[in-house]
Amino acid sequence: MFIRRVPFDHPDAVKLNDEVQAEYHLRYGDGGDATVLDALDFTPPRGVYLIAYDDGDRPVATGGWRSQDANGQGNEDGDAELKRMFVIEQMRGRGLARRILAALEEDARAAGRVRMVLETGTAQPEAIALYTSSGYEPCTKFGYYRHHESSLCYAKPL
């Protein structure tokens, strides 16, 4: 396994994003995550996007962070927002999400961000377990889904 920085609109990132959107549809029964994302949000030093590849150069996991500062959606100055954490089904349970999460935290810290925040949902117990076991704690809701009952938000100081 190796982790590579890629643009958010890289073909492998687009492929994995389509897969995560399909999974959101299965879990939540809607059209997927409607949060507006721009490829420029994940361009260093304001963010980064990572893909893990297996030994055959197949993209198997992804995740990114983007800078957020105080806004009308509940973010605070210095936030790094975690987005699109995903591991393909065949590769789950091997610690890939934890490796990507650690790399994203390190990168955001190096970029001067002070807190990593994320939004997940009640239909993603695996994600909740990963984040809480990695030191994330519930925080004030933020972002597009902050008014949805199934939305859960977490934060961790960097």
Below-70 pLDDT ranges, the chain: 31
DSSP state letters, 111-138: TT--EEEEEEETT-HHHHHHHHHTT-EE
At 68-83, the pLDDT tens digits run: 999 988 889 999 999 9
Per domain, the residue ranges of the chain are 2-157
Please list, in sequence order, all residues whose beta carbon lies within 8 angstroms of the beta carbon of residue 26, skipping any fewer than 6 positions away.
none
Class of domain 2-157: alpha beta
CA–CA dist 10, 19 (Å, integer): 14
Q: How far apart are CA 49 and CA 9, in angstroms?
A: 10
Prediction pTM value? 0.94
pLDDT tens digits for range 51-62 = 999 998 999 999
